Chain A
Amino acid sequence: MPASKKKTVKSKTDQIGLPDETMLGLFSNLLKTRLLDERFRKLYRQGRFAGTYFSAVGQDASTVGPTYGLRDEDLIAPSHREIGASVTKGVPLDKIAGQIYARESSPDKGKSHPCHYGWKAKGVIAPSSTLAGQTVVGTGCAMGFQIQKKDNVVLAFFGEGATARGGWHEALNYAGIYKLPIVYICQNNLWAESVPASLAAAITDFSDRAKAYGFPGVTIDGNDVFITHKTAVEAIDRARKGDGPTLIECKTYRWYGHSEIDPADYRTSQELEDWKSRDPIKFAEKTLMDIGLLTTTKKEALVEQFNQEIDEAIDAVDKDKYADPEEAYNDVYSEQFPVRRVDW
């Protein structure tokens, strides 16, 4: 068993050392994620799609950074606030928008729920809504990779609230025993819907939980996309080599409610303003500009390019129709067991 260890990585100093291309790539994916996320919020308020929307604005660096650079065969085991992982993994924007709009072209043909993105070709697992559910399934995927001697890895994302679930503990316990190729990423955004982290656990740093399972846990600044990337790359390399899992806790914050119907009035405006001043996008932008990798003109060009891609994706799903309601009968079983149609 590996010796349990925990280290805290400070922000701002550790990002140096990443190739220029990586730093720009991280910023681009972060920017694209943010523009898409804010667009969906706007479209929801316009009543353009049904249900609700779970924004990840504010905590987007904690999904974009770790996902950047993964292979197609590596898997993302998401929850519902990982739009950044889908974007960065390269899921086509019209597939992401399709999931939100629940149209015929959606990967699930409109069956599951907005924000439950799943696209197999790019290794994003379609999630259930049970929190930490995919932590268990993702650990099973890692077990499957290990049994088949494949060097793929799994990134499992969840919030700090989900770490109170029994299944979460069973999964991490198992992954520790067998040194499975998986990296667990806790997006500690301080609030599990309306319940503060202090009522979810008696510890402050959720990475402490790793100690119980015999693998390293690390707490980092989740709003620094360069740090989230660097830390994850180290953990992913470890996992791929067969040295086992890592639990990475990203301290971060969601700017908006649990979903668009949540006014988030359980927290103070001071807390929100403090975190907004640590905007992951602004931080990344400033870092790149300070070292001369980005100019205002270049950034504006990226914004224009991404907005155009988003316009095209939204336009495509907006024009798409809902699947025939009889689609409800499909994908229950294999073709061997067709579902009986009702008479009325």
Chain B
Amino acid sequence: MKKTTFIEAITEALDEEMARDEKVFLIGEDIGIYGGVFKATKGLLDKYGAERVIDSPISEVYIAGGSVGAAMVGLRPVPEIQFADFITPSMDQIIQQMAKLRYRSGGQWTCPMTMRVCCGADIGGGLYHSQTNEQWFFSQPGLIVVMPSTPYDAKGLLKSAIRGDDPVIYFEHKRLYRWIKEEIPEDDFTVPIGKAALRKEGSDVTLVSYGLMYHRSMEAALALEKDGISAEVIDMRTILPWDREMILESVKKTSKAVLVQESSKTGGVMAEISATIMEEVFDYLDAPVTRVCGLDVPAVPFAPPMEHYFLPNAEKISKAVKKIIEY
């Protein structure tokens, strides 16, 4: 079987879902003629035409709100936000329309749309091309938030998102686009939303992460093996609603947790996971729940040494693990 890159998996999912269901259409900046700035939509304009692969003007408010409207009248829009950094103009439409439409209409209207958002650092993007920003949407009930870390999950989660009846923010980490590849089945498959993946079993500590940080956590876990520390690695895959059962059960087993997130520490996803561990399985803990996160600064700085200083990596994660192992 050939190996599929992360971005190829996304293109395949879009292609297959558009072929399967004529209600699926794409809208975004540079996604048609140009095939997307990262080429995620390459070839789809020729195949499906300009009515289903729409090169939008630079209008993030409309890309978001227009998609909500199209979803209301029976379509399944898959809008693209070129960089998570540029999602801010569309916040009103995402928060007030996309997330609340079902609620405010008493379920008369639903919003089956999947907003693809290219995110993430470690690519030299600087302040305005490196943000992840998933924490803004994590705190908005009504939205589904996913961030896959493997080509298999990228494809399967995107298909689930497009087929589902809820509004999904689908974060794709651009560092993974061409770095991560794997063999994936040729047959149609989906990955369920709301379920984490247990990537590695372990007994001494639970590492929880998602997106690029899953790979950094796995690197740390493999390095820790050599030091005789057995880390369990959980890849959340879906951030909202998150898989409480898997994470809490794992912490009950290992009694220690290190939570890793790329975005800034304060008010992030892992603050909530940490609080829930404390609330639900406090009696099982042998050490403080510990977070390894991006810095509490406005965004990821550009100069390479500063960018790397900002980001969690295997070394920082291993250090945190060793600290709580010795607690």
A and B found bound together: yes
Interface pair A107/B106, CB less than 8 Å apart: yes
Which residues in B have their C-beta under 8 angstroms from that of A139? 62, 65-66, 69
Which residues in B have their C-beta under 8 angstroms from that of A128? 96-97, 100, 104
Q: Which of A32-40, A228-236, A281-289, A333-341 lies on the face that meets chain B?
A: A333-341
Q: Which residue of B lies closest to A174 (CB)?
A: B62
B132 within 8 A of A: no
A277 within 8 A of B: no
Question: Knowing A118-B105, A118-B108, A167-B61 touch, does A137 contact B166 (C-beta < 8 A)?
Answer: no
1/0 contact string of A86-124 vs chain B (CB within 8 Å): 000000000000000000001111011000101110000
1/0 contact string of A304-344 vs chain B (CB within 8 Å): 00000000000000000000000000111110110100000
Which residues in B have their C-beta under 8 angstroms from that of A244? none
Q: What is the minimal beta-carbon distance from A235 to any residue of chain B, in angstroms?
A: 19
Distance A130 CA – B104 CA, assembled complex (angstroms) = 13
Most A Cβ at <10 Å: residue of B52, B61, B97, B166: B61
Distance A11 CA – B6 CA, assembled complex (angstroms) = 63
Interface pair A120/B109, CB less than 8 Å apart: yes
Distance A112 CA – B100 CA, assembled complex (angstroms) = 10
Interface pair A136/B102, CB less than 8 Å apart: no
Distance A281 CA – B22 CA, assembled complex (angstroms) = 48
Distance A138 CA – B194 CA, assembled complex (angstroms) = 31
Which residues in B have their C-beta under 8 angstroms from that of A49? none
Taking CB atoms and an 8 Å cut-off, the chain B residues in 21-63 that contact chain A are 25, 51-52, 56-57, 59, 61-62
Distance A142 CA – B74 CA, assembled complex (angstroms) = 12
Interface pair A331/B93, CB less than 8 Å apart: no
Which residues in A have their C-beta under 8 angstroms from that of B71? 140, 144
Question: Knowing A174-B56, A177-B57, A334-B164 touch, does A111 contact B106 (C-beta < 8 A)?
Answer: yes
Q: What is the minimal beta-carbon distance from A299 to any residue of chain B, in angstroms?
A: 36
Interface pair A143/B109, CB less than 8 Å apart: no
Interface pair A108/B104, CB less than 8 Å apart: yes
Q: Which residue of A lies closest to B79 (CB)?
A: A140
Question: Knowing A106-B106, A116-B104 touch, does A140 contact B61 (C-beta < 8 A)?
Answer: no
Interface pair A332/B103, CB less than 8 Å apart: yes
Which residues in A have their C-beta under 8 angstroms from that of B144? 333, 337
Interface pair B141/A339, CB less than 8 Å apart: yes
Interface pair B92/A174, CB less than 8 Å apart: no
Interface pair A136/B51, CB less than 8 Å apart: no
Q: Which residue of A lies closest to B66 (CB)?
A: A140
The residue that B73 contacts in the complex, of A119, A126, A136, A141, with Cβ under 8 A, is A141
Most B Cβ at <10 Å: residue of A111, A138, A167, A177: A167
Distance A245 CA – B32 CA, assembled complex (angstroms) = 25
Q: What is the minimal beta-carbon distance from B88 to any residue of chain A, in angstroms?
A: 11
B126 within 8 A of A: no
Which residues in A have their C-beta under 8 angstroms from that of B67? 140
Distance A111 CA – B62 CA, assembled complex (angstroms) = 26
Which residues in A have their C-beta under 8 angstroms from that of B141? 332, 339
Distance A139 CA – B71 CA, assembled complex (angstroms) = 12
Distance A108 CA – B100 CA, assembled complex (angstroms) = 11
Interface pair A140/B106, CB less than 8 Å apart: no
Taking CB atoms and an 8 Å cut-off, the chain A residues in 27-82 that contact chain B are 75
Q: Which residue of A lies closest to B65 (CB)?
A: A136
A248 within 8 A of B: no
Which residues in A have their C-beta under 8 angstroms from that of B89? 166
Q: What is the minimal beta-carbon distance from A239 to any residue of chain B, in angstroms?
A: 15
A15 within 8 A of B: no
A147 within 8 A of B: yes
Question: Knowing A136-B69, A148-B75, A337-B166 touch, does A170 contact B61 (C-beta < 8 A)?
Answer: yes
Distance A147 CA – B67 CA, assembled complex (angstroms) = 12
A163 within 8 A of B: no
Distance A38 CA – B193 CA, assembled complex (angstroms) = 49
Question: Knowing A128-B97, A174-B56 touch, does A337 contact B241 (C-beta < 8 A)?
Answer: yes
B208 within 8 A of A: no
Interface pair A166/B61, CB less than 8 Å apart: yes
Interface pair B66/A174, CB less than 8 Å apart: yes
Q: Which residue of B lies closest to A152 (CB)?
A: B73
A111-B103, A125-B105, A130-B96 given; 15 more Cβ-contact pairs under 8 Å: A75-B73, A126-B106, A128-B96, A136-B66, A140-B69, A140-B71, A141-B73, A147-B51, A167-B61, A170-B61, A330-B107, A332-B141, A333-B166, A334-B110, A337-B241
